[in-house]
Amino acid sequence: MTSAANNANPDRRASAQQVLRDVFRLESFRPGQAEVVDAQMHGRDVLAVAPTGSGKSLSYWVPAILGDGLTIVVSPLIALMKDQVDRLVAHGVHAAFINSTLSSSEQRERLEAASRGEYQLVYVAPERFSRPGFMGRLATLGVKRFIVDEAHCISTWGHDFRPDYRLIGGALEACGRPPIGAFTATATPDVRKDISSNLGLRDPLVVVTGFNRPNLQLETVHARGGRDRLEQLRRRLNPGDGRALVYIGTVKGAENTAAAISRWGFPAAPYHGRLPDVSRRRIQDGFAAKDLRVVVATSAFGMGVDFPDIRQVIHVGYPGSVEAYYQEAGRAGRDGKPALCLLIHSSKDRDLQVYFIETAFPELREVMSVHTAYSRLGVWNADPEELKPLVPEPAWLSLDASRRLLQKAGALRSDGSVGPFDHSLLDFEQLAALKRHAYTKLGQMIDYAQLRTCRHAFITDYFGEVTTERSCRSCDNCERGQGGEVVGAPVDVAVIRAALAGAARFAGRIGMVNLAAILAGKENRFSRDQPWVLHVPAYGSLSGWSQGRLRRLLEELVAAGCLTQSQGQYPMVELTDRGRAVLGGKQAVAVAIEPDLEPASMSSADPALFKRLREWRSEVARRQGVAAFMVFHDRTLNELASRRPADLLQLGAVPGIGPSKLDRYGTALLEILAPIH
């Protein structure tokens, strides 16, 4: 850099400060921002990674206003584009957007205004670049800076690859290759490399900031089954004077959980991709107005959710990657005040994610069997129910993905007819690589769930933000003392050795579920197919333990570094060096797991109370002329007799008591349950 440029530096920074103050009424840049602004002012390419809500747009707005000429901003988020432009215009900045929401004459007018130099910033949706003539127009605009927002969309390794982003190369060329600013809220080191090479960045300034957020309290808790998940949620959920977001993997889960939360006394609604637009908008508005304090969402809820006072983001089950997790969890505490990011996970979560991966990436033989079935039908736009009997189960699960691939290969034609399928037109190696990558991501997510060390350090390492701190004051592991105190009942060393000996016997050729069954001495398909396993010493060596609890123990041994688990649909467990040392008595390990969750058993239920509840139920059933179980299941009465709810709110939290039953029987039940009896 020349000394002249160095001398210009303070001036430029001063004027950047001035723009910040005069235009945006902000006092100072956030960490990393000034550097990114400065580099752009010097015409250097930049790659900036900063989470949503950390003001990353400001880092390209300021140079666009301060510099001369036009800045093009590519963004795939059409809904947010208008918000951004509105904000800029409200601050007196000359900005406009061009996307499919405009008529072609409006688009033309804006392009003409841009070539007359009337705008400082123009936002463009990437699919515009495929429109005939658009590139030609771009060449006439005299573009001075080119910003690629959501830059991770250019990477096939990113979680949100958009093929349109590959058109950006051509657009850059058309503009005469101005300096590029690539911005994204989420990119791992791999994805950053991909962005850099795909956009052809030249010696870019790379800045990763904003992932380390000490105001977020990071915690995970293991739940034993569905009912325990709900109980853990009930125990922790509290929107305080703000709001709370609950994320869950399935539509049905979102609906059931929202209903339960409403019964607990917090107005809540489910939000998912199957809701009609009008309902979605109503929920967003309700959440904005705080009529709704809690939204229970699948990952569909995200765009434009930017409230500063979200006090909790609770995940019931983990998503498929740490990026997806932290992007959702990071919606908490945007005001900088303390907020909780809690992950309630269980052994079943992995199964759901495996299902998602397996259905998203079909293998060649599955695509071929879908093609064969369509060929037999002769058309491919018929009722899927007609297809179902013709397709084997695994191929049926990934039908949507197979259909997309067949369309891409031209085997399913737009007139509904079915042509020949030439599989050399599809890149199955690439698909297999993407699938392996998805399993790697899932493995990292599981690592986070079971982590024993500082969660904040894990997150900053994951995203490649440079921090020196290896411990914090705002994660469960640091609060417990790293590697120190463990939760639950300590497991006897003899039990640990028996489990490790079982794993050693199968030398990496057995999965966790089957190993748990063998240790428990329970026959299943694995042992029936291979009867010799009934005779290994490990078979039934821990027969006092349930299979679920053994699986939990094996997971803890993975977390403690005694076992490793391979990736893929059917991961195998294998002994590590540490595991061997523990097995041989050369090293010690402390493992604790929660006791089995007993199904609201008689142990805690008051038998006399249970009897009174049954008598009352027979009476009600007789009066109504219905079967007793239609009034309440035994299970529910059991819960009532053990929990002894004292008011309607507590009563509503008991599984099996929905709003209508609460309405109908609530008062009568409370009378029976009252302690005077």
Least distance to Zn ion from the beta carbon of 445, Å? 18
Question: Can you read off the two tokens belonging to residue 487?
Answer: 């939760």
DSSP string, 472-529: -SSBHHHHHTTTT--SSEEPPHHHHHHHHHHHHHHTT-B-HHHHHHHHHT---HHHHH
From the number of C-beta atoms within 10 Å of its C-beta (0-12, 13-18, 19+), residue 10 rates as exposed
- Which is nearer to Zn ion, 431 or 478 (by Cβ)? 478
Please identify, among the stretches 83-91, 194-202, 311-319, 469-477, the one whose residues bind Zn ion according to the rule CB under 5 A: 469-477
- Determine which residue in the list 237, 370, 411, 478 makes contact with Zn ion, applying CB under 5 A: 478
What are phi and psi for residue 144, nearest 5 degrees? -100, -30
Build a one-symbol-per-residue string for 202-221: x at contacts with Zn ion by CB under 5 A, - elsewhere.
--------------------
Least distance to Zn ion from the beta carbon of 502, Å? 33
Handedness of CA 223, 225, 226, 228 (dihedral sign): negative
What are phi and psi for residue 93, nearest 5 degrees? -90, 145
* H or E element that contains 248: strand 243-248
Read off the DSSP letter of residue 412: B
Number of residues near Zn ion (by CB under 5 A): 5
665 contacts: CB under 8 Å, gap ≥ 6: 620, 631, 632
Least distance to Zn ion from the beta carbon of 456, Å? 5
- Which is nearer to Zn ion, 19 or 454 (by Cβ)? 454
- Which is nearer to Zn ion, 150 or 465 (by Cβ)? 465
Least distance to Zn ion from the beta carbon of 474, Å? 7
- Which is nearer to Zn ion, 171 or 475 (by Cβ)? 475
472 binds Zn ion (CB under 5 A): yes
- Strands 46-49 and 205-208, by their bridges, are parallel
- Which is nearer to Zn ion, 399 or 478 (by Cβ)? 478
- Which is nearer to Zn ion, 371 or 455 (by Cβ)? 455
Residue 674 CA to residue 676 CA, distance in Å, equals 6
Please identify, among the stretches 305-313, 364-372, 473-481, 668-676, the one whose residues bind Zn ion according to the rule CB under 5 A: 473-481
- Which is nearer to Zn ion, 175 or 459 (by Cβ)? 459
- Which is nearer to Zn ion, 38 or 219 (by Cβ)? 219
Least distance to Zn ion from the beta carbon of 219, Å? 10
In the chain, the amino acid numbered 442 is: L
Cα→Cα distances 321→117, 357, 452, Å = 43, 12, 18
DSSP string, 577-636: HHHHHHHTTSS----EEPPPPP-S-TTTS-HHHHHHHHHHHHHHHHHHTS-HHHH--HHH
- Which is nearer to Zn ion, 208 or 475 (by Cβ)? 475
Least distance to Zn ion from the beta carbon of 588, Å? 24
- Which is nearer to Zn ion, 155 or 477 (by Cβ)? 477
DSSP string, 298-360: -TT--TT---TTEEEEEEES--SSHHHHHHHHTTTTTTSS-EEEEEEE-TTHHHHHHHHHHHH
Question: Can you read off the two tokens belonging to residue 626?
Answer: 């219905």
Question: Can you read off the two tokens belonging to residue 171?
Answer: 């657009």
Please identify, among the stretches 206-214, 440-448, 477-485, 505-513, the one whose residues bind Zn ion according to the rule CB under 5 A: 477-485
Angle, helices 399-408/364-377, rounded to nearest 10 degrees: 80
Build a one-symbol-per-residue string for 442-461: x at contacts with Zn ion by CB under 5 A, - elsewhere.
------------x-x-----
Give residue 667's Cα distance to chain centre: 41
Least distance to Zn ion from the beta carbon of 471, Å? 5
Least distance to Zn ion from the beta carbon of 451, Å? 9
Least distance to Zn ion from the beta carbon of 479, Å? 8
Please identify, among the stretches 21-29, 178-186, 379-387, 466-474, the one whose residues bind Zn ion according to the rule CB under 5 A: 466-474
- Residues 405-434 binding Zn ion (CB under 5 A) are none
Least distance to Zn ion from the beta carbon of 217, Å? 10
- CB-based contact 228:204 (threshold 8 Å): no
- CB-based contact 127:136 (threshold 8 Å): no
Please identify, among the stretches 201-209, 222-230, 478-486, 558-566, the one whose residues bind Zn ion according to the rule CB under 5 A: 478-486
- Which is nearer to Zn ion, 15 or 482 (by Cβ)? 482
Build a one-symbol-per-residue string for 12-51: x at contacts with Zn ion by CB under 5 A, - elsewhere.
----------------------------------------
Least distance to Zn ion from the beta carbon of 345, Å? 18
Please identify, among the stretches 39-47, 347-355, 472-480, 647-655, the one whose residues bind Zn ion according to the rule CB under 5 A: 472-480
- Which is nearer to Zn ion, 246 or 454 (by Cβ)? 454
Least distance to Zn ion from the beta carbon of 478, Å? 3
Binding site for Zn ion (CB under 5 A): 454, 456, 472, 475, 478
